[in-house]
Amino acid sequence: MSPNKNGNISTTTDLRDSSDETAKNSVLTASASQSVDVSANVSCESAPVTPDFSKFAPSDSLLKRREWKSRIMAGIITAAFVIAMIPLVSVLWTTIARGVKRLNLNFLAYNMSGVIGGMPTPSGGHGGIEHAIIGTLEVTLGAMVISVPIGLMCAIYLVEYARGSKIAKAISLLVNVMSGIPSIVAGLFAFSLFTILLGPGVSNGFEGSVALSILMIPTVVNSSVEMLHVVPDDLREASYALGVTKSRTIIKVVLRTALPGIISGVVLAIARVIGETAPLLMTAGFIVTTNWNLFSGQMTTLPVFVYQEYSKMSVTCPPSAGSECVSSIPSERAWAAALVLIAIVLVLNLIGRLIQRLFSVEAK
């Protein structure tokens, strides 16, 4: 038999031939696929093959070997998890155990002015970190205000405008190099920048913000680029197809869709810089009184406070002082301040989560 009109390969059985006849009568466009289906069924029936199922039966030793392998690997993975958790739990535990001793309202509400040695202050406490909390929040907020717009706009340029071009690759490379900058170098940069601009020896909170923003920008750029890439091109096209301009598409569709991810990236970036000590030590400085002004005068931050107090370790109490004088007070203050720092990071994370949930893309 020659190839029939529908283009099927020539067949030898009557059954197949008749199937082609029926196919020809049906819609021309459907005939090709239909006749192929039918003839495939027929060939199965006409030449039955008994499959050899014995080849699927496993041997006992194979099953045992597999089970053992599975157990050993599960054991190794669990052990790795436990090892990874040990330092984490240990740090948390030590900080909480040593920190709660001095953590009270008095500690949070007063600064270090008027603190002499291990003697109690007139307010009844042993000094506090009010100034350091204010310093940390203001300096970090300043860093955020600088780095989020710059980082986000840089990411938008990389993803929406310069996608895959040479200049985009160069910028990405620079950003990656920047994310590896040691924090002390960022501190030196901010210090020398302000020395050039405002003269030698200048030290204020905003200088610290600049130093931190240098550390923060690469993190914000990288996480935002990733989040903008995740937004499907389908949505951009859907927006363009409705006659929406590129700028509105980016702002109202792309950024809006990527917002939850961008927020979590920013929170991570903050968490990364809020604990920085070295750059702040040389830029924001260290004082014992409260300074609300970010742009003038030195400002203590929590990590710097922890470092300063812990490097004192202890104070000597005069023999006449009695039990009111606590000689180990500096290290106790350091642990309490470290606990507050951890708590602040935790709260920031929770706020980030909350905002994220508020703007998240609900499926149902």
Plot region of 94 (φ>0 → left; ψ -120 to 50 → alpha; else → beta): alpha
Residues 6+ apart with CB under 8 A from 307: 277, 281
Q: Is 33 one of the binding residues for other proteins (CB under 8 A)?
A: yes
The reply on whether position 256 binds other proteins by CB under 8 A is yes
Q: What is the largest CA-CA distance in the chain?
A: 120
CA distance 154 to 223: 11
* Measured CA angle at 30 (ends 26, 32), to 5 deg: 100
Q: Does the protein bind other proteins through residue 262 (CB under 8 A)? A: no
In the complex, least distance from residue 33 CB atom to other proteins, rounded to whole angstroms: 7
If one asks whether residue 78 binds other proteins (CB under 8 A), the answer comes out as: no
Of residues 23 and 220, the one with the C-beta less far from other proteins = 23
> Which residue's CB is nearer to other proteins, number 36 or number 321?
36
**Residue 6 or 356: which CB sits closer to other proteins?**
6
Nearer to other proteins (CB atom), residue 33 or residue 78: 33
User: 88 vs 241, which CB is nearer to other proteins?
Assistant: 241
| Residue whose pair of structure tokens reads 């199965």 in the numeric block | 44
Q: Are 128 and 109 in contact (CB under 8 A)?
A: yes
C-alpha–C-alpha distance, residues 313 and 315, integer Å: 7
Work out whether 37 is an interface residue with other proteins (CB under 8 A).
no
Does 235 bind other proteins (CB under 8 A)? Our answer is: yes
- Which residue, 161 or 295, has its beta carbon nearer to other proteins? 161
Is 71 or 248 the residue whose CB approaches other proteins more closely?
Answer: 248
Instruction: Tell me the closest approach of the beta carbon of residue 219 to other proteins, in angstroms.
Output: 25
Among residues 222, 337, 344, 203, the alpha carbon closest in space to that of 279 is found at 203
Judged by CB, which is closer to other proteins: 196, or 251?
251
Residues 6+ apart with CB under 8 A from 316: 117, 327
Q: How many CB atoms lie within 10 A of CB 216?
A: 28
What is the Cα–Cα distance from 35 to 23, expressed in whole angstroms? 6
Binding mask 174-213 for other proteins (x = CB under 8 A): ----------------------------------------
Residue 167 binds to other proteins (criterion: CB under 8 A): no
Burial label for 15, CB within 10 Å (0-12, 13-18, 19+), is: middle
When asked if residue 264 is in the footprint of other proteins (CB under 8 A), the reply is no
Stretch touching other proteins by CB under 8 A, among 49-57, 141-149, 236-244, 262-270? 236-244
CA dist 355 → 126, 198, 258, 261 (Å):
37, 38, 13, 11
CB distance 331 to 231 below 8 Å = no
Describe the crossing of helices 130-156 and 256-274 by its angle, rounded to 10 degrees.
Answer: 140
Apex 305 CA angle, 300 and 311, nearest 5: 140
Nearest approach, Cβ of 19 to other proteins (angstroms)?
A: 15
In the complex, the smallest distance separating the C-beta of residue 221 from other proteins, rounded to whole angstroms, is 22
Among the listed residues 19, 31, 203, 298, the single contact to other proteins using CB under 8 A: 31
Query: Does the footprint of other proteins cover residue 240 (CB under 8 A)?
Result: yes
Under rule CB under 8 A, residue 224 binds other proteins? no
Judged by beta carbon, residue 71 or residue 163, the one nearer other proteins is 163
Provide the binding-site residues for other proteins, judged by CB under 8 A: 5-7, 27-33, 163, 232, 234-245, 248-249, 252-253, 256-257, 359, 361-364
